Each structure stands twice: as C-alpha cells, then as structure tokens.
Amino acid sequence: MPPVTSAPSSRLRPYRMPAFILSVVLLICVGVAMVLSIRSFTRSTDLVEHSYQVINTAEAIRSSARSTESDARGYRLSGRDQLLAEYLATFPATRKATSQLVVITRDDPAQQTRALEVETLVEKRLAELQRLIDIQRDQGIAEAQREGLDSPGFGQMQQINLLIDTVLTQEHHLLRERRQTMATLAAVTIAGVVAGILLPLVLLGLLLGGLTRENRRSLKLEREARSTMRELAISLEQRSRLSEQRRVLGAYAGILQSCENLNEALNVTAEVIAQMLPTAGGRCYVLRSSLNQVEALSRFGTETVPSDSVWAPSACWGLRRGQPHRSGHGPGNVYCSHLHIEDLGENGWTLCVPLMAQGVSLGLLHVNGATGGSSEDVQVVEAIAEQLSLAMINLQLRESLRVQSLRDPLTGLYNRRYLEENTQRELQRCQRRGLPLSVIMLDIDHFKRFNDEHGHAAGDALLTAIAQTLQTHTRDEDIVCRYGGEEFTVVMPEASSEDAQRRAEEIRSAIATTTVVHLRKTLGPNTASLGVATYPFDGSTPAELIGSADTALYRAKAEGRNRFVVHQLARA
C-alpha cells in the first residue's frame, strides 16, 4: 500500500514564502499609503481647527471690544467703581485677543493684513477709552461725558466690526474649502484602507498555520494593552481631577476678590478646602495685630489632629521658617507644638502653610487628615494659601482706607459714621459675654457764644483741644467720636454705670481747666455738660443708648450746665 501523503499541503508549500512576501509587500504599501493619507488628513484637520481658531478669536475680539466699550461708557455715565474694575479686567483681554489674531493669521498674508488693521483700530479705540477714563479721574465725570460726546467711538467700532466681518467671511470660505478637502481625503483614505486590507487578507488566509503563534502574541499584546488602558484611565482621572481643581481655584480666586471682610474670605476658603479635600480638616488662623498670638477664626472638615485655638507664633515650625511644614506618622518627623499628635493615625498627616504677602506674616492655614496628604494635596493647599494671603492683605488695605475715611478731619476723632458702625459691634460683643456698655454724650457749654466772641478759628481750636482732652482721659478700647458740631460721644465697652460716672467727672473736670491759645491770647477755660447711659438699663440698641445719653445731657444743661447726669437719675 502506498504511503498516505497530504497532497494539498504539498501543493501549497512552495507558495507559502511567495505569498508571505507578497502579503508583506502589500501591507507595507498599504501602511505607507495610510501614513501618507493620515498625514494629509491630519494637515487638513489642523487647517480646519486653525480656521475655527481664527473665527473664535475674531468673535472674541468683537465681544471683548464691546464689553470694554460698554464698561467704559457705563463708568463714564455712572462713575461706579465696579464698572471701572470690569473695564480694567476686559482691557488687557481685548489687546491679547487682537495680538493672538495677528499671530495665528501668519499663514495667510491677506488675513494677517486685515488682522493688523483690526489691531490698529482696536488700539486706537482702547487709547481713546483710556483717555476718557483718565479725564474722568483727573477732571471729573462731567468733563469725561462732554469729551465722550466728541469721541469718534461709534465710527471706530463700526470700522472694527466691518473688518472683523471681512475676516470672518474669508475664514468661513476657507473653512468650507478645507472641509471639502477633508471629506475627499477621508473617502480616498477609506477606499485605500479597505482595498489594502482585503488583498492581504486573501493571501494571509493561505498562512493559517502561522496564526497560532500570532494568536499567542496577540493575547500577550492584549494583556499589555489592558494594562496600558488601566494606566491611561488613571492618568485621565488624575488629569480630570487636576482640571477640576484648577477650575475651582480659579473660581475661588474670583470670589475672594469680592469678599467684603476677613471672616467672609475665611469662610469661603473653608468651603473650598472642604470641597477639594473632602477627607481633610483644619483651621484658618490669623496673626493678631500685636504679633504675639495666632487665633483661629474658622474651621472646616473633621480634624484628625486637633490644634489649639490660640497659640504663640513660635509654636509652629511653618511660621518660624516662613514656608510650608508637612509632618506625618513615623520617625524623622518634627511636629508643631500647637498640635495634639496623640490622635495621629498610621497614615495621618498634617500641613502648616504660612499666610504671607509682601513679606508680611498674616496667619496660618492648617490642614490635616487620616489619609491623603500627597504632593498634589499639598500643592492645592499651597495654592489656596497663596490666594488667601493676597486677599487678606487687600482686605487689610481696604479696611485701613475705610478707617481713614471715618476720621473727623478737624479733631482727628472718629466721626458719626464710624460710631454707628462700631457701636453695634461692641454692643453685640458685650451682650454675648453678659457685660455692660456705657455711652457718654458731651456738649460744650455756650459754644455758640464762644464762636461769636472769638471767631470760628478760635472755636475750632477749642474743639481740637477738647478732643485731645477726651483722648487723654479715655481707654484705648473706648470709641471717642465727634458726634456733630460741639457734641462728642464716648462709647465705653465693658464699663459699668459707676465706671462711666467716674470717667464723666474726670472728663468734666479736665475740660473745666482746658484753655486754648489763639492769636496770642489765652481763651477759656470752658465747661461742658455730659449725659451718661448704660446697657442694659438704659437701652438694648445703639440708638436707644445714644438717645438715653442725649436725654441725660439735656437734663444736665437744664440743671445749670458744667455737670453730668445719669439717665437713670434723669428718669427718676
């Protein structure tokens, strides 16, 4: 019996190598064609994206220019500082957009020429707007409005809009052409890919014997691909988290600029940290003006490692070194003495970030947690601390300017506005602590006659001298104000009626011996009448207390002047 042979296998064996070589050649050709097609397609895609970028930039110029024009006009008409701030914010954005349009149209000389014209017109218009703003600052709103009537603003904006419309029209035309080119390239690429795949598949069907090995290799590649996909997913998640953090930080920076006081800024900071680091907790500390104590003004989250509410700056390594100080579980860690580290877990961590701006220490941001504490978390806290420091120094400057506006220019004492704002605060503080608060109303006796006899300059000198006497005979924590005309008010937190009566008598006696020198003449002494009222007996609101003290003052005048009367006695 003849041996059994595999005829088909024998017939196909001589063609395996040529078929393999031909398949490889076809695949190489297809690969080269695909690479070339993909490069062309990528180039077309880049051109389309470039057209969209030009269109978006041109629209941004139009929108930003209109916003700048609107904000400047609104400020010129109303004089509102908020509109000026919005104008100053959109002013550089308009310039940046025009410069970007010039840069991205370098590939098209005609478009770049138009972009340069747009930039020139925008610069002219911005210069005109800035000129009107400067006029309003220097000469007043009326002069700015008059100059605005003669400003060529409408014509300039019309020219800018026409040029931008021309740029958009041309770019839309290029966009249609590029889209058509993309569609053609896509069709050619698909046809080439389909044809190039079908032919090698027919030939590779003859090489089934080698697929087993290729399958094993494919399984290995699949496992590697899965591992890569997992790593990619982790990377995308981190990128998404970082993007969200940047968005939240950007919004946080904007909100901080709108905060009216420090407590509001600290509360916003606490909410942002709780949102970005939900597993962390901590406190925002502020350095007192005496620079000898740090006090917690807000808390956030759940503190894993408790921290004292008030402590000396030397208790924190972050404040000592002027840079963030991180510590965790294990040897080699140096802990701040204001922390209670006995509650620190195995994965616990703490971070102290000094709040500093312009070389001045303002406070501390302390964050801790049972888990986390990665470098990303530290960077987030440092970014928040940087924004908070700038906001705090701005708020301090704003408060300093506000206090300056609350001084009486003649006597240097606080004015009535300051009295109304701060008496309420001091009264609420005393109410919370169950402490008294006294008010003294003072009026100079026969001041009108003094003015008529010696002149208003002498009267001003007398008011200034009495203001100095009041400052000499009151405490630092007392609020001494010029209430109006020849009337003065002294608010004495935590002072009982007896304390206020003693102080009123001291002030009355001191004024009775006060003289002024005017035009080489010694004038005075003069006398004063005083009325005393005390919380809670004579009122529970600032208006009631001041009214009670005023009633007692008029009783003192009615009884002969140069004396003080307590409101409780006046009522009796």
Residues that are catalytic: 486
Take residue 316 and report the two structure tokens written for it. Answer: 């924190």
User: From the centroid of its chain, how far is CA 367?
Assistant: 20
Give the number of C-alpha atoms closer than 13 A to the C-alpha of residue 550, restricted to the C-beta side.
11
Take residue 179 and report the two structure tokens written for it. Answer: 């889209």
In degrees, rounded to 5, the angle at the alpha carbon of residue 509 between the alpha carbons of residues 540 and 541 is 5
Take residue 335 and report the two structure tokens written for it. Answer: 């802990």
Residue 40 near residue 185, CB atoms below 8 Å:
yes
- Is 140 in a helix, a strand, or coil? coil
**257, 259, 264, 270 alpha-carbon torsion, rounded to 10°:** -30
Q: How far apart are CA 203 and CA 194, in angstroms?
A: 15
DSSP string, 395-420: HHHHHHHHHHTTB-TTT-SB-HHHHH
Q: How far apart are CA 374 and CA 361, in angstroms?
A: 26
Q: How far apart are CA 114 and CA 54, in angstroms?
A: 12
- Pairing assessment for the beta strands 521-523 and 360-369 based on DSSP bridges: unpaired
Which residues, in sequence order, are CB contacts of 495 under 8 Å at separation 6+? 436, 437, 438, 478, 503, 534
User: From the centroid of its chain, how far is CA 295?
Assistant: 23
Take residue 509 and report the two structure tokens written for it. Answer: 């006696």
Phi-psi sector, 368: left (phi>0), alpha (psi -120 to 50), beta: beta
Residue 22 near residue 203, CB atoms below 8 Å:
yes
Please choose, from the candidates 173, 175, 145, the residue with its C-alpha nearest in 3D space to the C-alpha of residue 52: 175
Q: How far apart are CA 352 and CA 364, in angstroms?
A: 7
Please choose, from the candidates 92, 71, 94, the residue with its C-alpha nearest in 3D space to the C-alpha of residue 82: 71
- Pairing assessment for the beta strands 349-357 and 360-369 based on DSSP bridges: antiparallel
Residue 115 near residue 108, CB atoms below 8 Å:
no
Which residues, in sequence order, are CB contacts of 214 under 8 Å at separation 6+? none
Please choose, from the candidates 191, 201, 214, 205, the residue with its C-alpha nearest in 3D space to the C-alpha of residue 26: 201
Take residue 233 and report the two structure tokens written for it. Answer: 């997913």
CA-based radius of gyration for the chain: 40
By the 10 Å C-beta count (0-12 exposed, 13-18 middle, 19+ buried), 258 is classed as exposed
Q: How far apart are CA 46 and CA 49, in angstroms?
A: 5
